[in-house]
Structure 1
């Protein structure tokens, strides 16, 4: 069976357990596929990449809200009333 690995690098669980910091440093900020018996079991994603992913997902959600509200009629508001 062919397995798709959605990362440019991979590491076995055994090697990850031996020295997780070395794996993170060697990845150079890129995601790493964690393999168990040569099959992807998980992905190790650096904190900066994870934060960027969450920011992009948040932006997509906000864009959907903007599109959904694009046809609404605005209500005049005076800042002093707030």
Structure 2
């Protein structure tokens, strides 16, 4: 049975083509992700550095929000600004 996997990019490249000229692939992609295919299946995604950094910032925000939700309603400690 063949399993179809979604591709989360509008552009694709084979691993072979990526090996031949990675700089051209990166330049052509601009600010968009590229799905790297192995035997016509997504094996990896090539993501621009700026997009990856924004994604990491977003994930950190989500993790911090989860910590806040977990601690909501917990014990609190009063502190004055002078004590900080």
In structure 1, list runs of 5 or more residues that go unmatched.
none
Work out the CA distance in 1 between the residues paired with 2:57 and 2:76: 28
User: Structure 2 regions of 5+ residues with no counterpart?
Assistant: none
TM-score by length of structure 2 reads: 0.83
What RMSD in Å do the two structures reach over aligned CA positions? Answer: 1.6
Residues 1-82 of structure 1 correspond to what in structure 2 (within 5 A)? Answer: 1=2, 2-82=4-84
How many residues end up aligned between the 2 structures?
82
Distance 1:3 1:61, change over 3 A: closer
Q: Aligned equivalents of 1:68 and 1:74: distance in 2?
A: 13
Measure, in 1, the Cα distance between the counterparts of 2:74 and 2:5.
Answer: 47
**How far apart in 1 are the matches of 2:17 and 2:73?**
55
TM-score, normalised with respect to structure 1:
0.84
